[in-house]
């Protein structure tokens, strides 16, 4: 959560930005060579020119099947495709995706498909960590890309928005601590609530049934009854609490409340995104980046389909297709796609071969060896396919993309040099993300 310390940071900035990051904790057992040594200082991380201002991460919680979405294998037969055995042409000649995504097929000019994603890990936690931080499990817990962006593009670096710079719609992922060694200050603000409900109750910002007048009088009461505060007027923690209160009321009454009010959108727009939690989350994400929020994650649950896989896909794919296609169209219509990266993907793909036998009865397992991610906008070219899997989607056949390659490309577009130093007050001398040039490197072919 990054609402913290806004007031303080303003002061800090005025005082010539002495402090790096104010997060604490997160590491203990680090290698001594990672300790800051003055002689080995790495250059600052924000030396690159930015093409993108924001990232919308559609996090396919649990791992989506690549075969059933953007890497169809109709020739591989029933054992691999089940009932989703058709591919369709897209609006880009030569690119076909699964027929389950007809609306996204009409947007293919806007995105690029990475069919050679690989890391070989099949455990949710370890894979989630790797895909979102770029690091294998080690002795230091690293921050995920959202927290890095929040540290390097947030309040410490001139972001002045009222809305926190790293938002999660609607629940945190819970797999690992997003901020890693950066500490609590760089955790995301998760909205809670459901954007498909009216009103969208954003925990803390939008409350039900308390009139503005009553808010005002009870706040006054709070101040009148502040007996301890009056007895210890100089305590730094109590002063900090007062600053937080100021910020909190600013959020409750300022533009933040309006921003989260989806009822101000036209019905047609809301319907085009789909009247469901994911659809309205995409709409909310668009509103957030429109307002300058640099990182938005939509945690889209329900893709860990060990059983009843195809029943789930029949329910979920149309919903995803509609919302994501509309998001791309809408961002493009509003001129936001050039500056907004949309990143679709999960921690891994799903087993290419369907498990028809009990206890799975038509399920797909975890599959980290070969899977697909999709990127659009913010400097990524559209209408491209990068890499390929083999004939039945079990192995990478061309241009493997490792998680650091993809994350490094996004960092570069966001104006963050992956080779630059990750500021922290944990005493670590570490790069934002090493190894982004591993294998065939960052995604130069589509940047």
Partner 1 sequence: MKNACKLLLITVLLLASTFAFPAWGQASNLYEKPGPFVPFNSIDEHVLAKLKEHNIKPANLCSDAVFVRRVYLDVIGILPDGPEVREFLRDTSKNKRAKLIDKLLARDEFAEYWSLKWSDILRIKAEYPIKLWPNAVQAYHRWIYECLRENKPYEKIAREMLTSSGSNFRVPQVNFYRAVQQKNPSSIASAIALTFMGTRLEKWPEDKRKNLEVFFSRVAYKTTAEWKEEIVYLDPSATESINATLPDGKKVQIKPGQDPRQVFADWLVSPDNPYFAQAIVNRIWFWLMGRGIVQEPDDIRKDNLPCNPELLAFLEKELVKSKYDLKHIYKLILNSRTYQQSSIPQSNSKEIESLFACYPIRQLDAEVLVDALCKITGTKESYQSPIPEPFTYVPEEHRSINLADGSITSQFLEMFGRPSRDSGLLTERNNTPSDSQRLHMLNSTHIQKKIEQGPKLRNMVKIGNRKPNLLIEMLYLNILSRKPTAEETRIVKEYFKTKGINRGQAINDIIWALINSKEFLFKH
Binding to partner 1 in span 150-189, by CB under 8 A = 164, 172, 174-177, 183-185, 187, 189
**Which of 71, 95, 305 lies closest to 84 in space, CA to CA?**
71
Answer yes or no: are the C-beta atoms of 110 and 91 closer than 8 Å.
Answer: no
C-beta closer to partner 1: residue 141 or 285: 141
C-beta closer to partner 1: residue 50 or 243: 243
- Give the one residue of 14, 93, 208, 357 binding partner 1; rule: CB under 8 A: 208
Question: How many Cβ atoms are within 10 Å of 292's Cβ, its own excluded?
Answer: 14
Enumerate residues 401-430 that contact partner 1 by CB under 8 A.
none
Cα 10 to its chain centre, rounded Å, is 26
Residues 244-265: b if buried by 16+ CB within 10 A, e if exposed = beebeeebbeeebeebbebeeb
C-beta closer to partner 1: residue 57 or 190: 190
Shortest Å distance, C-beta 418 to partner 1: 22
Enumerate residues 229-258 that contact partner 1 by CB under 8 A.
229-232, 234-235, 237-238, 240-241, 244-245, 247-249, 251-252
Shortest Å distance, C-beta 405 to partner 1: 23
Enumerate residues 74-103 that contact partner 1 by CB under 8 A.
none
- Give the one residue of 197, 225, 258, 314 binding partner 1; rule: CB under 8 A: 225
- Give the one residue of 94, 228, 358, 359 binding partner 1; rule: CB under 8 A: 228
Enumerate residues 102-131 that contact partner 1 by CB under 8 A.
124-126, 129
Region from 47-55, 210-218, 279-287, 354-362 binding partner 1, contact rule CB under 8 A: 210-218
Shortest Å distance, C-beta 357 to partner 1: 19
Contacts with partner 1, 19-58, as mask; x by CB under 8 A: -----xxxxxxxxx--x-----------------------
Shortest Å distance, C-beta 122 to partner 1: 13
- 435 sits in the region (left: phi over 0; alpha: psi -120 to 50; else beta) called left
Residues 17-46: b if buried by 16+ CB within 10 A, e if exposed = eeeebbbeebbeebeeebeeeeeeebeebb
Enumerate residues 132-151 that contact partner 1 by CB under 8 A.
137-139, 141
Shortest Å distance, C-beta 362 to partner 1: 19
C-beta closer to partner 1: residue 75 or 125: 125
Shortest Å distance, C-beta 127 to partner 1: 10
Shortest Å distance, C-beta 32 to partner 1: 5
C-beta closer to partner 1: residue 91 or 235: 235
Shortest Å distance, C-beta 161 to partner 1: 13
- Give the one residue of 213, 266, 268, 357 binding partner 1; rule: CB under 8 A: 213
Shortest Å distance, C-beta 426 to partner 1: 9
Shortest Å distance, C-beta 72 to partner 1: 30
Task: Please state, in angstroms and rounded to a whole number, the distance separating the CA atoms of residues 389 and 379.
Answer: 25
Answer yes or no: are the C-beta atoms of 168 and 299 closer than 8 Å.
Answer: yes
Q: By CB under 8 A, how many residues form the interface with partner 1?
A: 74
- Give the one residue of 11, 17, 47, 222 binding partner 1; rule: CB under 8 A: 222
C-beta closer to partner 1: residue 4 or 321: 4
Region from 222-230, 263-271, 390-398, 429-437 binding partner 1, contact rule CB under 8 A: 222-230
C-beta closer to partner 1: residue 43 or 139: 139
Q: Does 198 bind partner 1 (CB under 8 A)?
A: no
Answer yes or no: are the C-beta atoms of 126 and 408 closer than 8 Å.
Answer: no
Cα of first residue to Cα of last residue in the chain, in angstroms, is 31
- Give me the phi and psi of 345, to 5 degrees please: 165, 165
Task: Please state, in angstroms and rounded to a whole number, the distance separating the CA atoms of residues 99 and 67.
Answer: 11
Region from 84-92, 224-232, 290-298, 317-325 binding partner 1, contact rule CB under 8 A: 224-232
Shortest Å distance, C-beta 437 to partner 1: 26
């Amino acid at each position: 959560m990054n609402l913290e310390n806004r007031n303080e940071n303003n002061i800090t900035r005025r005082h010539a930005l002495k402090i790096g990051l104010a997060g604490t904790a997160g590491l203990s057992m680090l290698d001594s060579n990672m300790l800051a040594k003055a002689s080995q200082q790495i250059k600052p991380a924000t030396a690159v020119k930015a093409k993108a201002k924001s990232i919308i991460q559609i996090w396919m919680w649990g791992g989506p099947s690549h075969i059933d979405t953007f890497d169809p294998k109709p020739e591989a037969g029933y054992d691999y495709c089940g009932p989703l055995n058709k591919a369709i042409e897209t609006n880009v000649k030569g690119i076909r995706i699964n027929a389950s995504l007809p609306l996204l097929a009409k947007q293919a000019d806007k995105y690029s498909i990475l069919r050679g994603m690989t890391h070989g890990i099949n455990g949710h936690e370890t894979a989630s960590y790797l895909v979102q931080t770029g690091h294998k499990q080690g002795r230091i817990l690293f921050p995920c890309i959202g927290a890095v962006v929040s540290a390097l593009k947030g309040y410490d670096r001139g972001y002045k928005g009222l809305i926190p710079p790293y938002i999660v719609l609607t629940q945190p992922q819970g797999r690992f601590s997003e901020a890693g060694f950066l500490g609590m200050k760089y955790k995301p603000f998760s909205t809670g609530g459901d954007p498909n409900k009216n009103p969208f109750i954003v925990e803390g910002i939008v409350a039900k049934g308390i009139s503005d007048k009553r808010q005002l009088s009870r706040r006054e009461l709070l101040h009148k009854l502040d007996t301890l505060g009056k007895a210890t007027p100089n305590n730094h923690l109590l002063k900090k609490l007062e600053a937080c209160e100021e910020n909190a009321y600013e959020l409750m009454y300022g533009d933040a409340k309006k921003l989260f009010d989806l009822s101000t959108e036209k019905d047609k727009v809301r319907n085009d995104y789909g009247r469901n939690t994911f659809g309205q989350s995409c709409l909310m994400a668009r509103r957030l980046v429109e307002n300058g929020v640099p990182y938005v994650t939509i945690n889209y649950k329900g893709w860990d389909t060990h059983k009843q896989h195809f029943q789930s896909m029949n329910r979920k794919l149309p919903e995803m297709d509609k919302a994501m296609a509309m998001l791309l169209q809408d961002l493009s219509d509003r001129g936001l796609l050039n500056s907004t990266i949309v990143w679709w993907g999960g921690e891994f793909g799903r087993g290419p071969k369907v498990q028809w036998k009990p206890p799975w009865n038509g399920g797909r397992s975890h599959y980290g060896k070969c899977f697909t991610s999709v990127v659009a906008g913010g400097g990524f070219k559209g209408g491209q396919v990068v890499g390929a899997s083999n004939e039945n989607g079990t192995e990478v056949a061309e241009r493997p993309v490792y998680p650091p390659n993809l994350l490094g490309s996004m960092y570069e577009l966001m104006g963050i040099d992956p080779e630059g130093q990750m500021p922290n007050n944990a005493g670590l001398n570490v790069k934002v993300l090493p190894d982004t040039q591993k294998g065939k490197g960052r995604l130069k072919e589509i940047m």
